[in-house]
């Protein structure tokens, strides 16, 4: 029996710039290939507080943010029935947001059954994990780099803490940096090869010391920060690869410059990682199944105890609580590991 139409609570943005508010939302029908899920948890990514202020994706107002989730399938649209059935526990991404709600419409091609992953942890993979996976495994293919040094900047953040763990999994020696005390603690807990406090230490000198003066053969920088980009560019070894998260347009928006010339002058190669391009560029769209394989790997690695998200805060399903979490994210005070929202109120 169809559940549609269905009306449920959502934590919405009425107009770009307005605070989060509790609003009813109704779904009347599913399009081809879509699935309706009862959301269990959704995670906060840096783009959520940003889009709450500026609606760069031109989502129809009022709009609901939240681009990854875990939840239960409650309705399956035509064309999605081969992969999913009502009652399946799933996780993944939602290109147009909508996950800070009791229910969300998602695309079957962007979700996966969640296996042994707990619901809260599962909600952190659709954006942050897949971004790190795409950058390191698909764009740079670090599977070939066992035994090499990688310097990971922003390693205490959502993307960065997954990237550090993925690199270690493929046998790389990981030097990670952070500035906040909580981020540094997270990195020490991960027991990586070396941790640098960029707020107190000279990152470049430390990376050079640890690598015997050569620099790191790989560098991954997901900070979107010019000061970090400059330090990272100076850390890469001749013949190495600098993997930068973000397209030139994204960097322009945060007023960060391009350090490609510096990287190339050091005899290294610039590699671009970007999950967003798989939604807009047909060349990359065709390779989305390769990226989605990452979710099965994530389940396997979780079961083997090799990679886990670190959840540092769980936000209740309340407008004021989500608004506070957004403000803290923009201030950079709570963005350590992953912050999740518990959207399901009855369990
Ligand atoms: N293009 C894509 O496909 C894509 C996908 C996902 C995310 N993103 C973007 O990637 C960025 C990172 O995402 P995220 O979820 O990991 O964000 P996050 O959780 O806020 O992590 C950012 C990290 O950067 C560190 N950082 C901030 N300023 C720094 C500086 N000047 N030097 C060194 N480190 C610095 C922070 O550590 P401390 O606080 O310890 O300094 C923090 O751990 C965001 O801008 C996001 O929008 C892009």
pLDDT tens digit sequence for 12-31: 999 999 999 999 999 999 99
Decide if 66 contacts 98 (C-beta within 8 A): yes
Same domain, 118 and 143: no
Q: Is 83 in the pocket of ligand 1 (CB under 6 A)?
A: no
Whether 135 is in the pocket of ligand 1, judged by its Cβ within 6 Å, is no
Structure-block tokens of residue 261 = 């010339």
Q: Which residue, by CA, sits nearest to atom 10 of ligand 1?
A: 222
Residue 333, domain CATH: 3.90.180.10
Q: Are 127 and 275 in contact (CB under 8 A)?
A: yes
> Ligand 1 centroid to 74 CA: how many Å?
34
Q: What is the pLDDT of residues 290-345, one digit of tens each?
A: 999 999 999 999 999 999 999 999 999 999 999 999 999 999 999 999 999 999 98
What is the model's pLDDT at position 226? 94
Indicate if 102 and 172 belong to the same structural domain: no
Residue 1 lies inside a defined structural domain of this protein: no
Question: What's the predicted TM-score (pTM) here?
Answer: 0.98
Kindly give the pairing relationship between strand 338-342 and strand 311-315: parallel
Q: Is the CB of 279 under 6 A from ligand 1?
A: no
- Residues of the chain with pLDDT > 90, as a percent, come to 94
- Which atom belonging to ligand 1 lies closest to the Cα atom of 246? 1
The β-bridge relationship of strands 236-245 and 216-221 is parallel
Instruction: Identify whether residues 132 and 274 lie together within a single domain.
Output: yes
pLDDT in tens, 214-267: 999 999 999 999 999 999 999 999 999 999 999 888 888 888 889 999 999 999
CA of 78 to the centre of ligand 1 (A): 38
Res 243: pLDDT? 97
Ligand 1 centre from 80 Cα, in Å? 34
Please give the mean pLDDT across all residues of the chain: 97
Is position 238 within any domain? Answer: yes
């Amino acid at each position: 029996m169809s559940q549609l139409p269905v009306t449920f609570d959502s934590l919405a943005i009425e107009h770009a710039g307005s605070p989060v508010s509790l609003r009813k939302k109704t779904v009347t029908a599913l399009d081809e290939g879509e699935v309706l899920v009862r959301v269990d948890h959704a995670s906060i990514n840096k783009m959520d507080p940003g889009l709450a202020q500026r609606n760069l994706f031109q989502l129809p107002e009022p709009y609901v943010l939240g681009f990854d989730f875990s939840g239960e399938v409650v309705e399956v649209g035509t064309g999605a029935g081969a992969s999913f059935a009502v009652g399946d526990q799933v996780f993944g991404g939602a290109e147009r947001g909508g996950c800070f709600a009791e229910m969300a419409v998602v695309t079957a091609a962007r979700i996966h059954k969640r296996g042994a992953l707990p619901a809260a942890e599962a909600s952190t993979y659709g954006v942050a994990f897949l971004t790190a996976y795409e950058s390191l495994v698909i764009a740079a293919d670090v599977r070939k780099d066992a035994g090499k040094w990688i310097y990971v900047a922003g390693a205490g953040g959502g993307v960065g803490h997954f990237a550090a763990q993925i690199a270690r999994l493929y046998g790389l020696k990981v030097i990670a940096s952070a500035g906040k005390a909580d981020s540094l603690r997270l990195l020490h807990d991960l027991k990586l090869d070396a941790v640098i406090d960029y707020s107190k230490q000279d990152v470049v000198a430390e990376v050079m010391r640890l690598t015997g003066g050569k620099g790191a053969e790989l560098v991954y920088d997901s900070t979107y920060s010019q000061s970090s980009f400059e330090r990272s560019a100076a850390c890469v070894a001749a013949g190495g690869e600098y993997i930068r998260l973000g397209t030139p347009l994204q960097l322009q928006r945060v007023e960060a410059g391009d350090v490609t010339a510096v990287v190339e002058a050091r005899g290294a190669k610039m590699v671009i990682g970007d999950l967003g391009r798989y939604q807009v560029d047909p060349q990359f769209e065709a390779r989305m199944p390769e990226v989605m394989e990452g979710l099965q790997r994530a389940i396997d690695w979780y079961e083997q105890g090799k990679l886990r998200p670190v959840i540092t805060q769980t936000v209740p399903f309340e407008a004021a609580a989500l608004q506070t979490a957004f403000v803290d994210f923009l201030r950079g005070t709570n963005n350590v590991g992953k912050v999740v929202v518990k959207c399901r109120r009855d369990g």
